[in-house]
Amino acid sequence: MTTQDTTGKKFMRETDARILIDRKLREAGWDIEDKNQVATEETSETGRADYILKDSRGRALGVIEAKRFSVDPASAKQQALSYAESIKAEFIFLSNGEEIYFWDYKHRSEQKVATFFSQRDLEKIQTLRLEQKPLSVIPIPEKYFKGGEWRTPRPYQKEAMQIMDKALAGGKRKMLLVMATGTGKTDTIALYLKRLFDAGIANRVLFLVDRIPLGVQTKEVFDEILQNHSSTLLYGGKPKDESEIVISTLQTLYSQLPSLTSGYFDVVVSDEAHRAIFGTYNAVLSHFDAIRIGLTATPSGYVDRNTYKLFGCWDETEQKGKPTFAYSIRSGIKEGYLAGYDIVQIDTKVSLEGVNFEGEDYNPDDLERKINVPARNEQAAQAYFAEEEKRDPKKPRKAIVYAVTKRHAAQLAYFFNQAKPEYKGRFAEVITSDTEDPRGAIRRFKLEELPTIAVSVGMMDTGIDAPMVENLIMVRPTRSPILYQQMRGRGSRLDQKINKKSFRIYDFAGVTKYFNDESYNPYSEIAKAKVGIPWGTEVKDFAEGELEVPAGFIQVAETAPENIDVIVKRAYVEVGAEGEKIDSDDYQVAWERQVQELAQAEPLVKKVKEGQELSSDESRILAEKLNSPKYYFNEANLREAYHYPLGVLNEFIKTALGVQKLPTDEQLYEERINELFEAWLIDKQFEPEQVKILRLVKSQYIARRAPIEVSIFNEPIFQQQGGLNQILRIFGEDLLKNSLAELNQNVFVNGHAK
C-alpha cells in the first residue's frame, strides 16, 4: 500500500518517512545535524532508537520511533517504551512522516498531534512537573482585587472552578462553560488560570477573542487579577517567549500557526471566537496539544453540536450536548446577579411587511442592506424619545443602538442628534471599526456624560463590559440566536452607581418576537408586564406559536416614503463615520497606492518590503497610522475588499508591495478543506490504516466537489485498496457510515464557507 505527499511522490520505505520526519523536526526548531540536540540510530541492550531528542544539557528528553508509511506508528509503542525507559527519556513520538503521535507515557495515552514538540516545549513540561501540585490543595480565593475594590467570588463561579477541578482530575482535557453574559466569565477564567499556574499545570496560555477591543478589555482584567503573570495582546508576529498569557484574535493567531509547535501552549481558552470562522477556529484549537476550555454565553440549547464536540461535551448515546458547567440568565436574574429586562416592541408597517419600490419587493430583512428608508430611521428616533419621556424626561439613559451598516448607523445617529439639538450633535456617536480611536470612543461612552447613545455596527454587539447601559435599541434584524444573546447581554450587568436593576430593549426589527422572548423583570417598570420564560434557557421550554401582544407594545403607522435610496449592488466597502461606499476594486487600488508611497518613507513598511516580520508592537503602531480618516485602511475593511476573512495587516501590506499574492478562491477552498480535515483527524484519533483511506476520500471530494457516498468505494481508486469489503473490515459499517456523514457535514460543507 502506498501513500502520497502533496507533491505526488510515492513513499514506501522507512527511509522515505525519515525525510519527512527530518523536515518536520527542523520546522519544530531542532538542529538535526547537532548530535547534542538530536542523535540517530543509537542502540542499547534494550534495542535501537531512530531518534533521541536531547535537552539543552545533552540529556535524553524523548525518542522518536519512525516507521514506513504502510505501518501503523502506534504499533511500535512497546518497542519505543522499552528503549525510552532504559535511557530515562520521558516522552515518545511515533511517526511515519505523515502522522505524528505524542506519548507522555507516564501520564496519558498517545495523542495524534500536528507537529513535533520543540526542545523548549519538552523541557517546560519537565520543569512544571518538578513542583506540580494537585488542584485540590490550591484554594479557591475568598476575594480578589478588581476595579479598585476587593470582590468575593460568587457561589456559581466557585462551583464552576470546582467542577473543572474534578474534570481535570478525572483526565478530561476539554471543557465548556456556558455562562450568561454579565455573570463574570472572564473573572472566573482568570481566577481559574491563576490556580492552574499555582498548581504547576500551566506555564503558557492562549486566550482567543473575537476582536482586538475585546482583547484589550480581557487584558485589563488579567492585568488586575493575574498581575503576577505577564500577558500580551498579539497584534501580529510570533508571540514573545516571555509572555505567560497570549491574547489574540483568531485571524492573527492563525497567521502564526506555521511558527508554533503543538506543545507551545499548555491551555487554550476560547471566548466565543468560534462564532466567526468555525473551520479556522477548529484548526487553531486542534493544532495545540493543550487543555481546551470554551467560554460561551450562548444558552445550552443553542450551542452548536460541533462546538460541543470540540470541547468533549457531546453525548453520542443521547445525541445531546452537556456543558461542563452552565449558569443561565434566568438563574442570574432570580439570584440578583443580573439585571432584569423589559421589552418594548415598536413595529412599523415597513418593518413588518417590507416595501415595494419601482416594482420590486424588499422584505424586512432587506432594510438597510439593500434598501434605505430614512423615514423609518427618523421615526425610530422619535418613538424612542417619546417612550423615554414617559419614564423620566430629566434622566437621559445610556443606550446602545444596533445598526445594520455603517451608513445606517450614521443616519440613525443624525436623527437621534436632531431630536436633541441642545447637545450640539454630541448626544449620539457612531462607534465602528472606522472610528478614530474606537477604544477611546468606547471609553468616553462608558465614563463620560456624552455621548449618551452609542450607535454600533459590530463593535459593541459582543464582549463590551458597559454596566451603565440601561437601554438597547434594536434596529438591526438578526436570526442568529448567538448574536441575539450577545446583543441582549450588553444590558444585563448591574450597576450600583446608578442603582441599575433592570434595562429595556426597544425592538424596532422584530428580533425579540422572532425568538419568542418576553420581558423577564422582577423590578418591571412597565405596568402589567408579563414575567415569562426568559429567552435562552432551554429550548423545550419555549412558547409555541404566536405570542400575545406584550405590555408596552406600540403600533406606529407608516407608509413607504417617496425618497428611497436603493442599494442593490453589494461589491463595495463602507468606510468612515458616514458609511461612504467605495467600490471594492477602487479600495484595493487606493490601498496599494498608499502602501507603495509609504514604502519610500515609512520604516515599518520598508521593513515588510525587505522581507522582515513585524513584531506585535510594530504591527499595532502601523495599524494606527494606516487607519487614516481618508480611506480607513484597517483589517476589517481590507478583509471585505479582498474577500479574504482570514487576512491580517501584514499580509495585505505584502500584497500591496507585490511581495506575495493572496490565495485565490481555489487555493482558499483547498486550504480550508485540508485544515478542517487535519483538525478533524486529530480530534477523532483514527487508526493510521483508516487515515489513509480517509485521505483518499478527501482528495476525491476536492476533485468532485460533491458529497461522498459509500458507493465511491467500488470505484477503481479504492479497488486498489481492496474495495468496499476490505474498507468495511478496516472501519466497521457504523464507523464508516458515521465518518462519511461527519466529513460531508462538518468538513466539506464548512470548507465552502469563506
Residues 475 and 554 in one domain: yes
Report the relative pairing of strands 399-402 and 453-456 from DSSP bridges.
parallel
Residue 460 lies in a domain: yes
pLDDT classification of 5: cutoffs 50, 70, 90: very low
Mean pLDDT of 676-692: 83
Mean pLDDT along residues 641-664: 88
| Distance between CA atoms of residues 618 and 168, nearest Å | 38
Q: Which residue has the higher pLDDT, 535 or 163?
A: 163
pLDDT band (50, 70, 90) for residue 666: confident
pLDDT of residue 71: 57
Confidence of residue 551 (pLDDT cuts 50, 70, 90): very low
Inform me whether the pLDDT recorded for 350 exceeds 80. Answer: no
pLDDT band for position 503 (50/70/90)?
Answer: very high
Q: Which of 24-38, 377-391, 444-458, 551-565 is predicted least confidently? A: 551-565
Higher pLDDT pick, 672 / 696? 696
Quote the pLDDT of residue 45. Answer: 66
Q: Considering the domain boundaries, does residue 334 fall inside one?
A: no
- How far apart are alpha carbons 624 and 436 in whole angstroms? 9
- Taking residues 412-427, what's their average pLDDT? 94
For 85-124, the pLDDT digits (tens) are 999 999 999 998 888 999 999 999 889 999 999 999 999 9
Greater pLDDT, 170 or 210: 170
pLDDT of residue 510: 85
447 domain residue, yes or no: yes
pLDDT at 441 over 80: yes
Same domain, 492 and 413: yes
* Three cell numbers written together for 496: 450600583
**Residue of 164 and 211 predicted with greater confidence:** 164
Single out the residue in 610, 637, 657 at which a domain terminates.
Answer: 657
Which residues, in sequence order, are CB contacts of 360 under 8 Å at separation 6+? none
Do 401 and 419 lie in one domain? The reply is yes
Among 715, 705, 703, 683, smallest CA distance to 751 is for 705
pLDDT at residue 529 greater than cutoff 70: no
Per the domain annotation, does 130 fall within a domain?
no
pLDDT at 398 over 50: yes
**In this structure, are 484 and 505 located in the same domain?**
yes
The pLDDT, as a whole number, for residue 752 is 56
Domain that holds residue 600: 569-657
Pick from 82-96, 184-198, 379-393, 576-590 the range whose average pLDDT is largest: 184-198
Nearest to 348 by CA among 379, 305, 389, 390: 379
Q: What is the 3-state secondary structure (H, E, C) of 170-204?
A: CCCCEEEEEECCCCCHHHHHHHHHHHHHHCCCCCC
Rg, the chain, Cα only: 28
Query: What local confidence, expressed as pLDDT, does residue 519 receive?
Result: 85
Residue 502's H or E segment, with its range, is strand 502-507
- Total domains in the chain come to 5
302, 327, 352 — which closes off a domain?
327
Comparing 66-70, 192-196, 616-620, 655-659, which segment has the lowest mean pLDDT? 66-70
Residue 544 pLDDT greater than 60, yes or no: no
**509 and 585 co-located in one domain:** no
**127 lies in a domain?**
no
- Residue 653 is predicted with a pLDDT of 92
pLDDT of 536: 32
pLDDT at 569: 34
Over residues 67-82, mean pLDDT = 71
**Within this chain, do residues 309 and 356 fall inside the same structural domain, yes or no?**
no
Closest of 386, 559, 369 to residue 476, by C-alpha: 369
| pTM of the predicted model as reported, rounded to 2 decimal places | 0.82
Residue 129 belongs to some domain of the structure: no
Q: Does 535 lie in the same domain as 611?
A: no
Is position 125 within any domain? no
Where is average pLDDT lowest: 389-398, 412-421, 467-476, 501-510? 389-398
Res. 205 pLDDT band, cuts 50 70 90: very high
* Cis? peptide before 364, omega within 30° of 0: no
Which pLDDT score is estimated for 376?
77
**Where among 616, 632, 657 does a domain terminate?**
657
The reported pLDDT for the residue numbered 238 is 78
Same domain membership, residue 29 and residue 80: yes
Q: What is the CATH number of the domain that holds 158?
A: 3.40.50.300
Burial 343-374 (b: 16+ CB within 10 A, else e): bbbbbbebbeebbebeeeebebebbbebbbbe
Which residues does 367 contact at the CB level (< 8 Å), separation at least 6?
Answer: 350, 351, 354, 355, 373, 376, 404, 477
pLDDT band at 372 (very low <50, low <70, confident <90, very high): low
Q: Does residue 541 share a domain with residue 407? A: yes
CATH number at residue 56: 3.90.1570.30
pLDDT of residue 533: 30
Q: Report whether pLDDT(566) > 60.
A: no
Give the Cβ contact number of residue 178 at 10 Å.
24
Q: Model confidence over 709-718: pLDDT tens digits?
A: 888 998 888 8
Residue 368 confidence (pLDDT): 58
Identify the pLDDT of residue 92: 95
What was the pLDDT predicted at 751? Answer: 55
Please give the residue that has the higher pLDDT: either 308 or 268.
268
State pLDDT tens for residues 28-62: 999 999 999 999 877 766 677 889 999 999 999 99
Mark whether 386 and 478 lie in a shared domain. yes
Mark residue 358 as left, alpha or beta (left: phi above 0; alpha: psi -120 to 50; beta: remaining): left
Mean pLDDT in the chain? 83
Q: Are residues 181 and 245 in the same domain?
A: yes
**Do 559 and 574 sit in the same domain of this protein?**
no
